[in-house]
């Protein structure tokens, strides 16, 4: 009888809104945001309440980005429940070779610090998106932290960092004696029936992980950089809508309530965010890779979960994509949908770069036909171009959260526009130098 009661409660939870209203909303957003493939599911304790998929199938795998972190946290909790790891154990008790530039900090960081992002490691402590599928790729990414200086003392504050979950992946490997992906498959994927989930390159190929999409000038274009086994603990787990429905359902009914409780000032728990939405408690995590977006929203009081998956991603659309999951959750509770605008910053940066490129082309043409070029003027123009090169190749990518390689990966139109501007600036310097040499050196 308990399953009948659960089913009735699930139906009542969705009663304020009909599934076709959710579908109408999502299809409208899919068209507006130009998402090639979009899928959603609402689940209760007894199973799927409603679901839909457009441009993809329910068994199509997606990369789930940082939603991989709750998966990693659950893997760690398997070891905790088995008595093999303690949440407040120093990481070095289980990963003796874990090291940082600050020896004292490395010795004091605990498993809980990593799970809650309170280790003191900075947001960009380690290079991510390595696309390293070698057997020791994950361990090597952790060993690279040996030269990293923590930004604050362990436990002092929350700062979200993929590096924390890199280390947790290595911890799972060393404690279990299995490769990380194999442990996930045997301890989480198979028990939950997640048949199209993957955490290794081989499994990603087996389940047929398709290409995602990045945006060029606001339009999605297919992109397949390949799988990144070394990044699976923090961002490269793959799973289908059916798989994520099973994973989300497993987190209903209070089975993993310890993981869901916020333990930091901003409500980050053990791999999950614990916050409020319009006065309703929500436990959630969103994530992205170049080409994919995923969002899981749990409503503990209603015992309902929402999953939204998209096979496209842009930093400019991050807020709008995240709003999809929250708004579907709102709709299940009879609450009004809230709009979310795209971030105009990235469009402004792109069009400024294109305008600068056009001005540089004009500058090159005018310099070529110019007969006279004063030495001081030439020096000033060359210096200005040098500063411009530094701005677009170093400063701008850093402001976007990485280096030029990361900009090319995550914001390809901006990255390539920056390269074009730099190339044109170099050409302009070369033309100016040629003019100066001809006028002031050869004629001398």
Q: Would you state the pLDDT for residue 8? A: 45
Pair type for strands 273-277 and 238-239:
unpaired
Q: Let me know: does 290 contact 214? Beta carbons within 8 Å.
A: yes
Alpha-helical segments (H) within 15-110: 19-33, 68-81, 103-108
Identify the sign of the CA torsion 315, 319, 322, 323: negative
Q: Would you state the pLDDT for residue 399? A: 87
The alpha carbon of residue 12 and the mean position of all alpha carbons in its chain are separated, in whole angstroms, by 34
The C-alpha angle 112, 117, 119, rounded to 5 degrees, equals 70
- Per the rule left: phi > 0, alpha: psi between -120 and 50, beta: everything else, 339 is beta
Q: Would you state the pLDDT for residue 89? A: 98
Q: Let me know: does 261 contact 254? Beta carbons within 8 Å.
A: no
pLDDT mean by block of 10 residues, the chain; 444 residues: 45 57 97 98 95 96 98 98 98 97 97 98 92 96 96 96 98 98 98 98 97 96 95 98 98 95 97 96 98 98 97 96 97 92 89 96 89 79 94 92 90 96 96 78 54
- Cross-strand partners of 43: 48, 305
- Cross-strand partners of 230: none
| 197 phi, psi to nearest 5 deg | -90, 150
Place of tokens 């998209």: 310
Q: Would you state the pLDDT for residue 256? A: 97
Q: Would you state the pLDDT for residue 342? A: 81
CA-to-CA distance for 266 and 262, rounded, in angstroms? 8
Q: Would you state the pLDDT for residue 442? A: 52
3 state SS of 288: strand
Other beta carbons less than 10 A from residue 177's beta carbon = 8
Q: At what angle do helices 19-33 and 318-332 cross, to 10 degrees?
A: 170
CA-to-CA distance for 356 and 375, rounded, in angstroms? 24
Reduced 3-state DSSP string for 339-391:
CCCCCCHHHHHHHHHHHHHHHHHHHHHHHHHCCCCCHHHHHHHHHHHHHHHHH
Q: Give whole-number Cα distances, 209 to 38, 199, 232, 297, 427, in Å.
A: 15, 11, 14, 24, 42
Q: Let me know: does 89 contact 111? Beta carbons within 8 Å.
A: yes
Q: Would you state the pLDDT for residue 339? A: 86
Q: Which residues are catalytic?
A: 66
Structure tokens at 280: 């309703």
The one-character DSSP state at 291 is T
């Amino acid at each position: 009888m308990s399953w009948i009661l659960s089913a009735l409660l699930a139906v009542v939870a969705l009663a304020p809104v009909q599934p076709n209203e959710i579908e109408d909303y999502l299809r409208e957003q899919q068209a507006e945001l130009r998402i090639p493939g979009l899928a959603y599911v609402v689940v209760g304790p007894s199973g799927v309440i409603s679901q839909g998929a457009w441009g993809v199938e329910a068994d199509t795998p997606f990369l789930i980005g940082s939603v991989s972190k709750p998966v990693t946290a659950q893997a760690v909790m398997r070891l905790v429940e088995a008595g093999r790891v303690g949440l407040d154990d120093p990481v070095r008790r289980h990963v003796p070779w874990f090291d940082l530039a600050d020896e004292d900090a490395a010795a004091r960081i605990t498993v809980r610090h990593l799970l809650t992002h309170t280790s003191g490691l900075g947001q960009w402590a380690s290079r991510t998106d390595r696309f390293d599928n070698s057997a020791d790729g994950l361990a090597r990414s952790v060993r690279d932290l040996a030269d990293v200086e923590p930004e604050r003392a362990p436990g002092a504050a929350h700062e979200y960092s993929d590096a924390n979950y890199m280390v947790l992946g290595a911890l799972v490997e060393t404690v279990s004696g299995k490769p990380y992906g194999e442990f996930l498959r045997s301890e989480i994927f198979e028990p939950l029936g997640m048949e199209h989930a993957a955490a290794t390159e081989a499994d990603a190929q087996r389940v047929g992980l398709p290409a995602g999409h990045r945006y060029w000038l606001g339009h999605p274009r297919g992109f397949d950089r390949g799988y990144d086994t070394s990044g699976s603990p923090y961002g490269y787990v793959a799973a289908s809508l059916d798989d994520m429905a099973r994973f989300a359902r497993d987190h209903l009914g209070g089975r993993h309530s310890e993981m869901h409780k916020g333990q930091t000032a901003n409500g980050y728990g053990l791999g999950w965010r614990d916050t409020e939405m319009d006065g309703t408690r929500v436990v959630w995590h969103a994530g992205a890779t170049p080409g994919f977006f995923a969002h899981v929203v749990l409503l503990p009081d209603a015992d309902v979960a929402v999953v939204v998956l998209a096979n496209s991603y842009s930093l400019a659309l991050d807020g709008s994509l995240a709003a999809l999951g929250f708004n579907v959750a709102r709709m299940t509770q009879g609450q009004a949908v809230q709009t979310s605008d795209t971030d105009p910053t990235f469009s402004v940066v792109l069009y400024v770069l294109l305008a600068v490129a056009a001005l540089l082309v004009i500058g090159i043409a005018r310099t070529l036909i110019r007969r006279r070029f004063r030495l001081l003027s030439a020096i000033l123009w060359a210096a200005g171009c040098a500063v411009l090169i530094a701005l677009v190749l170093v400063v701008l990518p850093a402001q976007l959260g990485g280096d030029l390689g990361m900009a090319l990966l995550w914001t390809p139109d901006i990255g390539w526009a920056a390269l074009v501007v730099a190339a044109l600036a170099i050409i302009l310097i070369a033309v100016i130098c040629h003019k100066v040499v001809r006028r002031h050196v050869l004629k001398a």
